[in-house]
Amino acid sequence: MAASRIAVASVSLTHFRPLSSASMASVSPSLSSRLVPHPPDLIKWVRREGGFVHQSLKIAQDGDTGLGLLASDHIPKGSELIVLPHNLPLRFDSPETGDTEEADSVLVNLARQVPEELWSMKLGLKLLKERAKVGSFWWPYIGNLPEVFSVPIFFPGDDIKNLQYAPLLHQVNKRCRFLLDFDKEVKRTLDSVKPEDHPFGGQTVDASSLGWAMAAVSSRAFRLYGKNLTVGTTNSVPMMLPLIDMCNHSFHSNARIVQEQDAGSMKLKVKVVAETEIEGNVPLTLNYGCLDNDLFLLDYGFVIASNQYDHIELKYDEALLEAASTVAGISSENFSSPAPWQKLVLTKLNLHGEAALLK
């Protein structure tokens, strides 16, 4: 059950936008397909809402990485490429961030039950709310989101088992278990909510839609920094950045994110600036972080070949070594009771003693 496949949500073009439908097995849509077949023009929407998009930028297919932003002409280093005013990023405002608009809402109470390590689910709840809302300000952005995601929580059970790497398998199972448990908690909460207070317009929210929302946020959101005027501190705030999140990843990126915040207000302006000269027909790229392939696969659904930041986790396990030597038919000393000279060697390797680091 823990590794059960979470069905992928899709949407129709009707006035009522369902949050869940068939699973990926029956729909089998392309990973590059949008939430609706003909979504609004995202660049025009950003410009219409007061944002700036460089005239040489366009949305186009980027080789094997799918849709992305492409420079149609030469762009000098230091040029502003995209500027989002404070009203365009999608964020989950809560009492802790100094915004009490949703302080007493069902959505905030549900978000408080999400572990911090699964922060993407908190913002995912806000994303689902806006997806369900007819006439949502963010619909031109949400309509452009992928219909499905290639992250491991959507893998069939056998494929999850075939990952064959215990730490990664543990995280995948943990996320699947959370979605199945949180699905029950959401249903329990919504059953007692008045129709006018229902955060999803009366629609049923299940593990399918929750998984879609969590994957959308984990693969596209950025953690930026904003000042909390209530307590005077600076916090890391997850935000979905329309259009900016269509930049693909590179460790040697040609662009970077710059944020500006007014000293006397919470208004944040997010910019993408050319880090290098960008030639025509070159994709716009950002560095998502110096991450290992476990995190890239878990959150983004891809891995980097020859990733210099990749590492695996091994553990010095005496019982396992003894079992292996027995199976191999190799006579050896008892690993659980090493000889003095072996203890000395193991201590130098930091594998023996009180301060031993076995991983």
Task: Please give the average per-residue pLDDT across 180-199, as a whole number.
Answer: 92
- Taking Cα atoms as reference points, which of 146, 137, 128, 144 lies closest to residue 203? 128
Question: 112 falls in which pLDDT band (50, 70, 90)?
Answer: very high
Domains of the chain and CATH, by start: 24-300 (3.90.1410.10), 314-359 (no CATH)
- Residue 73 CA to residue 226 CA, distance in Å, equals 34
Would you say residue 131 has pLDDT above 70? Answer: yes
CA-closest candidate to residue 48, choices 1, 85, 91: 85
Average pLDDT score over residue span 241-268: 88
Question: How many Å apart are CA 293 and CA 309, to the nearest integer?
Answer: 8
- Residue 104 clears pLDDT 80, i.e. is over it: no
Are the C-beta atoms of residues 299 and 218 closer than 8 Å to each other? yes
Helix orientation angle between 166-191 and 207-220, rounded to the nearest 10 degrees: 120
> Model pTM?
0.80
Residue 136, CB-side half-sphere exposure with 13 Å CA sphere: 23
* pLDDT value for 234: 57
The 3-state DSSP class for residue 289 equals coil
Question: Per the structure block, which two tokens stand in for 353?
Answer: 């003693």
Q: What is the mean pLDDT of the chain?
A: 84
E strands present in 126-266: 222-228, 233-240, 248-249, 255-261
The region of weakest confidence among 190-204, 237-251, 315-329 is: 315-329
Tens of pLDDT, residue by residue over 51-68, are: 999 999 999 987 766 789
- Residues in CB range of 253: below 8 A, 6 or more apart: 275, 285, 286, 287
The lowest-confidence range among 90-94, 117-121, 284-288 is: 90-94
Report, as an integer, the average pLDDT of 216-230.
76
Within 8 A by CB and 6+ apart from 1, the residues are 177, 180
Percent of all residues in the chain with a pLDDT value above 70, rounded to a whole number: 83
Half-sphere exposure of 85 (CA within 13 A, CB side): 9
Q: Are 23 and 208 in contact (CB under 8 A)?
A: yes
Closest CA to 285 of 245, 240, 241, 237: 245
CB 53 within 8 A of CB 46: yes
Q: What SS3 class is residue 18? A: coil
Cβ-contact 352, 346 below 8 angstroms: yes
DSSP helix/strand/coil, 58:
strand
